[in-house]
Amino acid sequence: MSFGHKHILGMDQLSADDITRILDTADSFKEISAREIKKVPTLRGKTIINIFFEASTRTRASFEIAEKRLSADTLNISASTSALVKGETLEDTARNLEAMHPDIIVMRHGHSGAPHYLAERCNFSVINAGDGAHEHPTQALLDLMTIRDKKGTIGGLTVAIVGDIAHSRVARSNIIALNTMGARVRLAGPRTLLPTGADRLGAEVFTDIKGALDGADVVMMLRIQQERQGSPLLPSNREYSRFFGLNPDNLQRAKEDAIVMHPGPMNRGVEIASSVADGPRNVILDQVENGVAVRMALLYLISGGEKMAE
Amino acid sequence: MSPRETVILDEPAIGRALTRVAHEILEKNKGTRDVALVGIVRGGDHLARCLQQRIQEIEGVELPLGSIDITMYRDDLASRGSLPVGKTELLFPLENKNVVLVDDVLFTGRTIRAAMDALMDIGRPRSIQLAILIDRGHRELPIRPDFVGRNVPTATGEKIQVQFNDNQQPVEVRVCKP
């Protein structure tokens, strides 16, 4: 049984069967994190380099924990400590890393397509940990795992994604993944933060949170990036919060058993009220827990390579 | 069934072998005290449940039963690819238990090596014993079963298949020629 993917670059490369296989594998790996000895020897002798050109706490910690629990040898490079600040090109950095024979590179980069660029040119496997405003496939997979855990299924659910859709790689990966799995996707955000042609993404578009929440099974809030505040795109946090913030009142429009998700880091009081973020329907920390299992599953599956087994 | 396949054990024969193995486990451990059954996924877990039922019929005691998946402990990830990962469920502490590891077929011994590593990562049993339905020989590691349902001399290229029905009861053991 071969997984057939050497790289994980985006959700667009994964079929519904691939996704189901990843989630099933992640379910099995979840138990390891609950053990007293949280380690299995699966990736013993593999070298993994985590190279993060953008700030990250959660994703990077999650990848590193996943790698260590599978006994891989890991190495972290961040933008501030890398030769890129000395003017080295991405390709030269990659060539130099390649000469040290790593097995997998986990990369986050501010430019869309940077991981794809490496994957085309180098021998190692590449996992995209977020590229520009393009994709963040491991986030979408941990979101799917959380939805499947809580709802038993993904197909047929109505999922509302609310916030800065245009700049969100989390939204993009989730829209693709949810469509692949047969969920109905709704997008809501100020017109300035909706991508042009949002309706062509396979989603229903709302310019008001209320309509998007009506009868939703899953509410996925996105982070409002503070640096956009005061820009022409987003006049003020207070205004945003009034029209697009999730609060106990508008959450009543969603189904009674709806779950509330957030990829973090949260701006409490802006896109999500504290009482909702800490409320009974939030599954935000389940997302983080599932993130480790999903990343373990991906590392395991791509390490099996493209070879055919008996 | 193709002419290259031969049934070597049918359902009653498997049943008799398991009943004998259940008695042997009780005899060796002088009863059921601190004995636990752990089946290797997949196949061994079903057989471990059969042994648990038989021991309950004989002694009236329900032994702790667990299952262990060894996919993550295999030494052939590169050559076999990413096999599906099963579930490990050990809901009792292994400390001071005499664990009887159960598998359907013993061949090279590599699966058992992996299972012992996996058990040791989870806890520290007092001892590990090995119960096998079919021992087909060709060991590559110094591993020896304590309880054997049937010794079956085989050629390396042959395959042994233990068939289970929908209720996960063993119904047939076949030898398949290459």
Q: Give residue-wise pLDDT tens across range B34-55.
A: 999 999 998 999 999 999 999 9
Nearest of A173, A196, A183 to residue A153 by alpha carbon: A183
Which chain A residues have a beta carbon less than 8 Å from that of B80?
Answer: 304, 309-310
Maximum C-alpha span of chain B:
49
Quick check: B82 and A308 CB within 8 A? no
> What does the block give as tokens for B100?
């009887």
Q: Is B2 helix (H, G, I), strand (E, B) or coil?
A: coil
Chain B residue with the nearest C-alpha to that of A25 = B85
Are the CB atoms for B71 and B86 separated by under 8 Å? Answer: yes
How confident is the prediction along chain A (310 residues), in pLDDT tens digits per residue? 578 899 999 999 999 999 999 999 999 899 889 888 898 999 999 999 999 998 888 999 999 999 999 999 999 988 777 766 677 888 888 889 899 999 999 999 999 999 999 999 999 999 999 999 999 999 999 999 999 999 999 999 999 999 999 999 999 999 999 999 999 999 999 998 998 887 788 899 999 899 999 999 999 999 988 766 667 778 788 889 999 999 999 999 999 999 999 999 999 999 999 999 999 999 999 999 999 999 999 999 999 854 433 3
| Cβ contact, residue pair A301, B78, below 8 Å | no
Looking at beta carbons, which residues of chain A come within 8 Å of B83?
1, 304, 309
Residues of B within 8 A of A1 (CB-CB) are 81-84
Under an 8 A CB cutoff, do B79 and A309 touch?
A: yes
Cα Rg, chain B, nearest whole Å: 16
- Closest-CA residue of A relative to B76 is A304
Cα–Cα distances in angstroms (integers) from residue A14 to residues A21, A161, A232, in the given order: 10, 21, 36
- With contact defined as beta carbons under 8 Å apart, do A174 and A142 qualify? no
From CA A101, how far away is CA A95, in angstroms rounded? 10
Q: Tell me how crowded residue A138 is: count the other CB atoms within 10 A of its CB.
A: 26
pLDDT 10s per residue in chain B (178 long)? 677 899 999 999 999 999 999 999 999 999 999 999 999 998 999 999 999 999 999 999 999 999 999 998 988 877 777 788 888 888 899 999 999 999 999 999 999 999 999 999 888 999 999 999 999 999 999 999 999 999 999 999 999 999 999 999 999 999 998 8
CA distance B97 to chain A (A): 17
A-B Cβ pairs (cutoff 8 Å, strict): 72
Nearest Cα neighbor of B1 from B126, B140, B175, B157 is B175
Whether B117 sits inside 8 A of A41 (CB atoms) is yes
Residue spans of beta strands (DSSP E) within B11-64: 35-40
Token code pair at residue A271: 């896109």
Q: Which helix (H) or strand (E) holds B105?
A: strand B98-106
Instruction: Give the closest of B72, B78, B82 to A1, CB-based.
Output: B82
Q: Which two tokens stand for residue A196?
A: 């042009």
- Please report, for residues A194, A198, A206, the alpha-carbon distance to residue A188 in angstroms, rounded to integers and kept in the order given: 8, 10, 5
- Subunit contact A70:B72, Cβ cutoff 8 A: yes
Which residues in chain B have Cβ-Cβ distances shorter than 8 Å to A307? 78-79, 81
Nearest-neighbour CA in chain B from A305: distance (Å): 6
Q: Does B84 sit within 8 Å of A21, measured CB to CB?
A: yes
CB A165 within 8 A of CB A189: yes
Residue B124: half-sphere exposure toward Cβ, Cα within 13 Å: 0
Helix spans in B29-169 (H): 44-59, 77-80, 110-122
**Residues of A identified as active-site:** 58-59, 86, 108, 136
Q: Is A280 exposed, middle or buried (0-12, 13-18, 19+ CB in 10 A)?
A: exposed
Q: Indicate yes or no: CB of B122 within 8 angstroms of CB of A36.
A: yes
- Which of A27, A37, A307 shows the shortest C-beta gap to B81? A307
